[in-house]
Amino acid sequence: MTGIKTYYWTVDEDSPESYPQVEEASLWIKKNEVIAFPTETVYGLGGNALSDEAIEKIFKAKGRPSDNPLIVHIAKREQLQGVVSEIPENAEKLMAHFWPGPLTLVMPKGDVVSEKVTAGLQTVAVRMPDHPVALALLRYADLPVAAPSANLSGKPSPTAAKHVYEDLDGRIAGIVDGGPTGVGVESTVVDCTTDIVTILRPGGVTKEELEAVVGDVAIDPALLSSGQAPKSPGMKYTHYAPKAPLTLVSGSQEMLQKLVNDDRKLGKKVGVLTTEENKHAYDADIVIACGTRSDLSTVANRLYDVLRAFDYSHVDNIYSEVFPQEGVGAAVMNRLEKAAGGRTASE
Would the annotation count 225 as a binding residue?
no
Would the annotation count 275 as a binding residue?
no
Would the annotation count 226 as a binding residue?
no
Would the annotation count 147 as a binding residue?
yes
Would the annotation count 320 as a binding residue?
no
DSSP labels, 107-130:
EEB-SSS-HHHHTT-SEEEEE---
Instruction: Count the neighbouring beta carbons within 10 Å of the beta carbon of residue 90.
Output: 23
**Cis bond leading into 100, ω under 30°?**
yes
Q: Which pLDDT tens digits describe the chain residue by residue (347 residues)? A: 457 899 999 997 677 667 789 999 999 999 999 999 999 999 999 999 999 999 999 999 999 888 889 999 999 999 999 999 999 999 999 999 999 999 999 999 999 999 999 998 999 999 999 999 999 999 999 999 999 999 999 899 999 999 999 999 999 999 999 999 989 999 999 999 999 999 999 999 999 999 999 999 999 987 765 445 455 555 555 568 899 999 999 999 999 999 999 999 999 999 999 999 999 999 999 999 999 999 999 999 999 999 999 999 999 999 999 999 999 999 999 999 999 998 999 98
Quote the pLDDT of residue 12: 76
Over the stretch 185-205, which tens digit does the pLDDT of each residue have? 999 999 999 999 999 999 999
Phi, psi (5° rounding) for residue 331? -70, -40
Would the annotation count 206 as a binding residue?
no
Would the annotation count 64 as a binding residue?
yes
Domains, the chain, in order of start with CATH, read: 7-223 (3.90.870.10), 246-345 (3.40.50.11030)
Would the annotation count 26 as a binding residue?
no
Query: Strand 270-274 to strand 286-289: parallel, antiparallel, or no bridges (unpaired)?
Result: parallel
Integer Rg of the chain from CA: 20
Report the SS3 class of residue 334: helix
Would the annotation count 181 as a binding residue?
no
Would the annotation count 157 as a binding residue?
yes
The percent helix, strand, coil of the chain (3-state, each to 5) is 35, 20, 45
Would the annotation count 238 as a binding residue?
no
Could you tell me if 205 and 100 are in contact, meaning their C-beta atoms sit under 8 angstroms apart?
no
Report the SS3 class of residue 90: helix
Mean pLDDT of the chain: 93
Would the annotation count 139 as a binding residue?
no
